[in-house]
Amino acid sequence: MAISADSRQKLLLAFLALVAGYAAFDYFYLQSPSGSGAGAMNNTRAAYEKNVADIMTQVGKKALNPVDLHKVNMVGDKLANIPLYESDAPFYLAGRQSESFSTQVEGVEVVYSGYVELGGVRLALLNGVEYAEGDEFVIEGYRVTQIADQYVILVRAAENGLPGARVKVPMAETEEQQLTVRVVE
């Protein structure tokens, strides 16, 4: 028993109307107690507000002990350090291949001797002075923005009509660090 193209088309349209009708019924009446179309959004918003209210009542019931107070303070500090949150600092993509190294910053020789990591903070040794990330460099306007194993990045923000600058200083190699490779046959 073959079904003609005309009757096949009518069956598909009837099925489509049935699915569309059920979708409208589900959206407008089943998802919200009031019968309005904004039921899903209202339920989500109400659940969010209920969670916030529950948390606030739990916090208000008892005083924070020193450990919890420290955690709350740390969360507040970390929110300010989210890189996508808000920043007036210059933005650079890490690992740009076209970026070159320089040992000169505005005519001054800069020697990166290495770094020390203390308690999760890296201190770079530049020209015999220790700098942490964010510290001002001895050359006015420059800051240490990144300390890596093999290089340090110094950045000067654009201001007063002067363009900004970014210098990638490599680790200085001494004669003791250079390796001599000999091929023995």
Same domain, yes or no: 69 and 128: no
The pLDDT of residue 180 is 47
Same domain, 95 and 63: no
Mean pLDDT of the chain: 75
Report the alpha-carbon distance of residue 115 to residue 180 in Å, rounded.
Answer: 25
Structural domain contains residue 110: yes
Residues 122, 70 share a domain: no
Q: Are 83 and 94 in contact (CB under 8 A)?
A: no
User: How many Cβ atoms are within 10 Å of 46's Cβ, its own excluded?
Assistant: 10
Helix (H) or strand (E) holding 170, with range, is strand 165-170
> Which of 47, 76, 105 is the C-terminal boundary of a domain?
76
Determine the structural domain holding residue 15 and report its residue range.
5-76
* 66-103 tens-digit pLDDT: 777 676 666 655 555 555 545 455 444 555 545 567 77
CATH number at residue 109: 2.30.30.830
Whether residues 64 and 98 fall in one domain: no
pLDDT digits (tens, 9 = 90+) for 125-153: 888 888 999 999 888 888 999 998 888 99
Angle at 66 between CA 63 and CA 69, to 5 degrees: 70
Domain identity same for 102 and 181: yes
